[in-house]
Amino acid sequence: MQKDIATPIRTQEILKKYGFSFKKSLGQNFLIDPNILRNIVSHADLTKDSAAIEIGPGIGALTEHLARAAGKVVAFEIDQRLLPVLADTLSPYDNVDVIHADILEVDVKQIFEEQLQDYKDVMVVANLPYYVTTPILLKLLMDRLPIRGLVVMMQKEVADRITASPGTKAYGSLSIAIQYYMQTEIAMIVPKAVFMPQPNVDSAVIKLTRREAPPVQVIDEEFLFKVSRGSFVQRRKTIINNLQSSLPNGKAKKDLIIQALEKVGVDPTRRGETLSIEEFGKLSNELYAEFH
């Protein structure tokens, strides 16, 4: 059995060997606790018939645990300086493919077709760079990739927003965009002490599982998200105030927006944070014809 990469001593040795220094701009924080990595991987329920996609493998701490559990691992690393490190640390594993690319720029569907066509069960498992967590998640969901779900670590505050329920402070357009596609749960809280260097905030691992069907049928998903984003522009304002200032020509169409709200049973004086995804879905369907 290989010695785990994710111990403080081994991590220090690897960094020293390659003269590696952390880049703040890339949000690099490496995990140095093998138990936490094993726990993350266990939430993904992988078998040798599964493939895993990882984003930001760093020096391979999580990657090696994925390689032990899954049939194949495809890892995207943006930092060229880490490629020789990964070639070294992951050399015992022949089922890992490291791609030097920015996940936000890559055609992930094409990589599925080229490298993962033999796998029916694919999970994204990653310690996401904190500064691009939201764009990465939204890209993976909007690209409609054939994945079962994601087990990803992020800043606890973002995890709280993604998993929030209506009527809570953390609930907003991000909660709606992700919960529309996925069932969400916080799998574990991760203290900052298990990272090198230590981040300023605690982290959380969330598990997202693809829904068989969205919670509401909508005419246009893009428009649903536009309406929900518009409803949170100023959280303290009522939904009618937010929508008339965020929808095109909304002030002139105020009466039509009020009618739509009333038709779907939403009091125009409610705040956006009190509406469920179902209510936003019905509202976006009702408004669709007026704004297209």
**Residue 31 marked in a binding site:** yes
Say if CB 268 and CB 240 are below 8 A apart. Answer: yes
For CATH 1.10.8.100, the residue range(s) in the chain are 221-291
- Say if domain 8-210 classifies as CATH 3.40.50.150: yes
pLDDT in tens, the chain (292 residues): 567 898 999 999 998 998 888 776 666 788 989 999 999 999 999 999 999 999 999 999 999 999 999 999 999 999 999 999 999 999 999 999 999 999 999 999 999 999 999 999 999 999 998 889 999 999 999 888 999 999 999 999 999 999 999 999 999 999 999 999 999 999 999 999 999 888 888 999 999 999 999 999 999 999 999 999 999 999 999 999 999 999 999 999 999 999 999 999 999 999 999 999 999 999 999 999 998 8
Question: Is 102 annotated as a binding-site member?
Answer: yes
Q: How high is the pLDDT of residue 22?
A: 73
Q: How far apart are CA 219 and CA 58, in angstroms?
A: 41
Would you state the pLDDT for residue 21? 80
How far, in Å, CA of 221 to CA of 108, rounded? 21
77 annotated to a ligand binding site: yes
Q: What is the pLDDT of residue 25?
A: 65
Q: Classify 24 as helix, strand or coil.
A: helix
**The pTM is what?**
0.93
| Integer Cα distance of 92 and 107 in angstroms | 28
Q: Are 101 and 92 in contact (CB under 8 A)?
A: no
Tell me the CATH number for domain 221-291: 1.10.8.100
Output DSSP code: residue 99. E
Q: Residues of CATH 3.40.50.150 domain(s) within the chain?
A: 8-210
Place of tokens 């996609």: 53
Specify the pLDDT at position 258.
Answer: 97
29 is in an annotated binding site: yes
| pLDDT given at position 199 | 85
What Cα–Cα distance (Å) separates residue 99 from each residue in 57, 80, 135, 181, 253? 10, 10, 19, 27, 49
